[in-house]
Amino acid sequence: MNASQITIAVSIVILAVVALLLYRKGWRKEQKGLTPIAGLAFGFILAGIVFSEERFISYGLMGVGVVLAIVDIIKQTRRNKPDNASG
């Protein structure tokens, strides 16, 4: 195994441990789980990490993941914004 493969393996193990801890601890009541768009963004970013040998594919997948995450953040802020138009 070369250095990049070791880095990928360590990253995946760390992400799996964090996901396991969050799953076992449970979410607080005021926190909600991942939205489908956020889950898809997370998947694209993980795929970008896995395919790091091919830089064009890797950067493309990570870019799609970041764009989806930004779209999800914008949708969440618009949904939670109070309506002050009534006066």
Residue 86 maps to a domain? no
Higher pLDDT, 11 or 59: 59
Helix ranges (H only) for the chain are 3-25, 36-50, 55-80
| Residue 85 within a domain | no
Residue 85, pLDDT score: 56
**Assigned domain for 51 exists:** yes
The answer to whether 53 touches 4, Cβ cutoff 8 Å, is yes
Q: 42: domain range?
A: 3-80
In a domain, 8, yes or no: yes
**Residue 55 covered by a domain:** yes
Count of structural domains within the chain: 1
87 within a domain of the structure (yes/no): no
> CA-to-CA distance for 18 and 23, rounded, in angstroms?
9
For the chain, the average pLDDT equals 81
pLDDT in tens, 43-66: 998 888 888 888 888 899 999 999
- What pLDDT does 16 receive? 81
